[in-house]
Amino acid sequence: MNTFLENQNWRYATKKFDASKKISAQDLETLKEAIQLSTSSYGLQPYKVLIIENPEIRTQLQPVSWGQSQIVEASHLFVFANIIDVQDNHIDNYMSNMAQTRGLAIEDLKGYSDFMKSKITPLPTDIKATWTSKQTYLALGNLLNAAAELKIDVTPMEGFEPEKYNEILGLDKLGLNASLVATLGYRHEEDATQHYPKVRKPIDELFETI
């Protein structure tokens, strides 16, 4: 646990990446697996993660990301895109995966499937979109923690125009919405932000035992 806390103190929202340093294929697979293993409501994982390596696309995305340099300088750009309108077929696909993974008959999961459909499918689309967007933040948490273990810098971003991302990446045609963005790579030695003391609320102010 001490190592975990040390890594949390080490990490920060990197403002300037070293564009010459790239994440290895092995470490990238580790980060992808960490996201895959993230918790989510019902285990549904109602989102997709796009890993943007194409420099031309990233150049298009920078102006609609408040011009932030991390978009083009970081080794990799992750875009978390939530499913806007979860329908029965999304739940059916999840149940098929569960049946195959656990060696169950799909009929044995009907009760759980029907319960999920009764709770999720009837919701208004905007409520579903908000809910699925929140799930992407759970996945981001795993990414941040795994990256810190590997001493890979991550900058989570909400400073971008989702509608423009959806247009450029074709997400709107897939029923997806850009929920949040994360740039990954290695901090530049000239990034003064890495030397700033971490500012957090005191423990006794942040927590209250009732």
Residues 6 and 94 reside in one and the same domain: no
Q: Is the same domain home to 60 and 163?
A: yes
**11 and 104 co-located in one domain:** no
Residue 5 CB partners (closer than 8 Å, separation 6+): none
Same domain, 184 and 157: yes
* pLDDT given at position 150: 98
| pLDDT value of residue 1 | 75
Q: Do both 94 and 152 map to the same domain?
A: no
Q: Which residues neighbour 107 within 8 Å (Cβ) at sequence distance 6 or greater?
A: none
Residue 7 has pLDDT above 80, yes or no: yes
In whole angstroms, give the CA distance from residue 77 to residue 83: 19
Q: How far apart are CA 120 and CA 204, in angstroms?
A: 38
Both 68 and 152 in one domain: the answer is yes
What pLDDT digit, counting tens, does each position of 112-163 carry?
999 999 999 999 999 999 999 999 999 999 999 999 999 999 999 999 999 9
- Count up the domains in the chain and report the number: 2
In a domain, 95, yes or no: yes
Provide DSSP, 79-109.
EEEEESS--HHHHHHHHHHHHHHHT--GGGG
Residue type, 48: K
What CATH number does residue 173 fall under?
A: 3.40.109.10
pTM (2 decimals)? 0.96
210 is a domain residue: no
Residue type, 121: T
- By residue range, what is the domain housing residue 27? 2-84+129-201
pLDDT of 21-74, one tens digit each?
A: 999 999 999 999 999 999 999 999 999 999 999 999 999 999 999 999 999 999
Are 76 and 94 found together in one domain?
no
Domain annotation covers residue 206? no
Looking at the structure, tell me whether residues 104 and 153 fall in a common domain.
no
Residue finishing a domain among 70, 100, 120: 120
Closest CA to 158 of 86, 46, 44, 64: 64
175 found inside a domain: yes
Residue 209 within any structural domain of the chain: no
Residues 78 and 7 in one domain: yes
Task: Please check whether residues 96 and 167 belong to one and the same domain.
Answer: no
Query: Do 108 and 173 sit in the same domain of this protein?
Result: no
The pair of structure tokens assigned to 78 is 């992750």
Cα distances (Å, whole numbers) of residue 151 to 10, 15, 173 = 8, 16, 36
- For 154, the enclosing helix (H) or strand (E) is strand 153-157
Same domain flag for 80 and 96: no
